[in-house]
Amino acid sequence: MLKMMYFCLVVVFYIGSTSWAHPVALDQNQSNDGQGSGESINQDIRRQLTNEGWYLTGHFAYKLTTERQSWWAGRYACQSMGGELAVHGVRDNALRWEIARELYVGPVWIGLWVGLDDLETDMKWKWTDGSLATDNEIVWSPQEPNGGRRENCGEMWGEDRRFTMNDNPCCDDRYALCERKIVS
């Protein structure tokens, strides 16, 4: 347990010392050498992401991390793939269900980490893009959030088949749901 806590703390320090943009706008990578149109470059990017296993929908792409790990380690893994923990795809009900249908891996009572936490102040939930999460943006499972200072990271789970939110201890091992923005 102590070893796990230490690991989590190390990751927190690392994440805190690094600045990240959210989400990554892929069209920043477009070259201006006059070769090809923006549209064809965009198609190339979409093809590349699909080949890398991202699920594309609208202007966003989603992918799970390859292993279950703490919320912080999951966040770092998403950032390493050019993304962030999912925020946009969690706020929107229809999109959340679509993503869950495509990517969710059971069992249903084990959730996927998303970009939501109340680490700073208990019950003051924030998205990892820095914005405050309002009550009508988060669809909590019945009786959730229930963890007080023990459960400070958000997961999307299938317990009620609606892929709603649960507050969970941040050091538990979960796959993380990563998100990338495709166009600005």
Residues between 51 and 80 that touch Ca ion (CB under 5 A):
none
Whole-Å CA distances, 38 to 20, 30, 55, 111: 25, 7, 21, 37
Query: Min. distance of Cβ 71 from Ca ion in angstroms?
Result: 12
The yes or no reply on residue 167 touching Ca ion (CB under 5 A) is yes
How many Å apart are CA 30 and CA 47, to the nearest integer?
Answer: 14
Q: SS3 for 181?
A: strand
Closest to 81 measured CA to CA, from 97, 104, 61: 61
Query: Min. distance of Cβ 89 from Ca ion in angstroms?
Result: 21
Which conformational region is residue 138 in: left (phi greater than 0), alpha (psi within -120 to 50 degrees), or beta?
beta
Kindly state the tokens that stand for 119: 């680490």
The yes or no reply on residue 124 touching Ca ion (CB under 5 A) is no
Q: Is the Cβ of residue 124 or residue 161 nearer to Ca ion in the bound state?
A: 124
Contact 159, 108 (CB under 8 A): yes
How many Å apart are CA 117 and CA 87, to the nearest integer?
Answer: 11
Binding piece for Ca ion, criterion CB under 5 A, among 2-10, 52-60, 95-103, 111-119: 111-119
Kindly state the tokens that stand for 33: 């050498």
Query: Min. distance of Cβ 113 from Ca ion in angstroms?
Result: 13
Query: Min. distance of Cβ 24 from Ca ion in angstroms?
Result: 28
Query: Min. distance of Cβ 139 from Ca ion in angstroms?
Result: 14
The mark string for 134-163 relative to Ca ion (x by CB under 5 A, - otherwise) is ----------x-xx---xx-----------
Binding Ca ion (rule: CB under 5 A), the pick from 70, 166, 171, 178 is 166
Residue 64 neighbours by CB distance under 10 Å: 23
The yes or no reply on residue 169 touching Ca ion (CB under 5 A) is no
Chain residues binding Ca ion by CB under 5 A are 118, 122, 144, 146-147, 151-152, 166-167
